[in-house]
Amino acid sequence: MKKEIFEALKTKFPGVQDAILDRIATKMAKTVTKEEDVTTSVEGVTFQNVLESYGDHRATESQVSAVTNYEKKHGLKDGAKVQKEPGAGGDSEPGESGGQPKDQDSELAKTVKGLQEKIEKLEGEKATEGRLQKFTKSMEKAPEKIRDRYRKDFNRLNFKDDAEFDEWLKDVDTDVDAIAAEYSSKGVAFQPPKGTNKPVTQEQASPEVKARIESRKAETGAPAIQGLPTQKV
């Protein structure tokens, strides 16, 4: 089962070292025993899990490297003094391999940064998709020209977070409602008949639009079409 898990992880996390994914697959194989559970289990693995596994991997490598360097420097093997043969060279100079840990730290930092950038990109794409859906839904009742104008604004703006986007969308909704009320008070629907450039009048409007017009008239006393007197009941 480990092989199937490993292949699924490689597909989900392209570019991540095989050694890192192998560690995760080995751990998952202890609990995932059915092939049909592989996909669901791998979907639950996040970049945070990969980062943690990578950190464990590098820590193990650094520990082994440090022990090896120490033994080499002090002429030890498994904690015991190594007997040198006559004519053998002396101990390595202190600091001979001292640059290796720094190199490992630098490599770790680069890998972590790369994974973080991938996470931020995926989260950004997901947030943009969700905001676009909310924006599109809000624009359903707006005239086409208004939709196009605000869509350009949406594509141009960079929102710091969802709260900032929601505040902007709230202002947009207020503007659209005001425009819709103005159109309704004039007896004009939001979309012209297909193939014409003339607006829809109150007589041609849908029942929903007519109801909104009547509601507007009741609130303001304004005629459905400008220039016509208001009928008194």
Tell me the residue type at 108: L
CB–CB of 23/53 below 8 Å?
yes
Angle at 62 between CA 7 and CA 91, to 5 degrees: 135
Residue reference for tokens 């208001």: 230
pLDDT tens, position by position, for the chain (233 residues)?
888 989 998 888 887 778 888 888 888 898 888 888 888 888 888 877 777 776 665 555 555 565 566 567 666 666 566 665 555 554 444 444 444 556 666 776 777 777 777 777 777 777 788 888 888 888 887 778 888 888 888 888 888 888 898 998 888 888 877 777 776 666 655 554 444 444 444 444 445 545 555 655 555 554 444 444 444 44
Q: If 0-12 CB within 10 Å is exposed, 13-18 middle and 19+ buried, where does residue 140 land? A: exposed
Residue among 7, 123, 112 nearest 53 (CA): 112
